[in-house]
């Protein structure tokens, strides 16, 4: 029974991860080229919160109860969009530092090779 629940929850997670637009967007933002779009993606929290507010007003005026799920989904997506901004800034900073370090090591390596070649030429 537990194995069945575990498998079902894993399959639901994988389905949502692959097919839900906010998850696809977050996966694209987490790539190296997409990190620069993390802070502008925070602006998407506004429409999500607006839809959540609109649904709560519909619920209060006698709308269907299933709109509570839409409100939860919108608030959850808004929180994800708000969180990706600072996370992408940190990831972008780390990526640029790593790239700078790699570039500096490559420059030092070519500089050391040039010095070695000059020493070999001067000795011969």
Per the listing, tokens 């390596």 go with 109
Closest CA to 74 of 59, 89, 53, 100: 53
Per the listing, tokens 């639901």 go with 12
Per the listing, tokens 């575990």 go with 6
pLDDT given for residue 13 in this prediction: 86
Confidence at 124, pLDDT banded by 50, 70, 90:
low
Per-residue pLDDT tens digits for 97-119? 999 998 888 777 776 666 666 66
Burial 78-111, CB ≥16 within 10 A → b, else e = bebbbebbeebeebbeeeeeeeeeeeeeeeeeee
Domain count, the chain: 1
Q: What is the mean pLDDT of residues 79-99?
A: 94
Q: Using CA atoms, how far apart are residues 65 and 69, in angstroms rounded to an integer?
A: 8
Per-residue pLDDT tens digits for 27-74? 999 999 999 999 999 999 999 999 999 999 999 999 899 999 999 999
pTM flag (> 0.85): no
Q: Which domain holds residue 48?
A: 2-123
Q: Using CA atoms, how far apart are residues 74 and 94, in angstroms rounded to an integer?
A: 30
């Amino acid at each position: 029974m537990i194995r069945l629940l575990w498998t079902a929850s894993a399959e639901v997670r994988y389905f949502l991860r692959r097919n839900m637009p906010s998850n696809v967007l977050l996966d694209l933002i987490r790539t190296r080229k997409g990190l620069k779009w993390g802070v502008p993606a925070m602006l998407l929290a506004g429409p999500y919160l607006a839809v959540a507010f609109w649904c709560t007003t519909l619920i209060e005026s006698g709308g269907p109860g299933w709109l509570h799920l839409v409100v939860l989904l919108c608030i959850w997506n808004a929180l994800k969009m708000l969180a990706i901004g600072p996370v992408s800034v940190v990831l972008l900073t780390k990526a640029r530092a790593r790239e700078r370090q790699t570039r500096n090591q490559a420059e030092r390596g070519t500089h050391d090779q040039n010095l070695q070649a000059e020493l070999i030429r001067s000795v011969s």
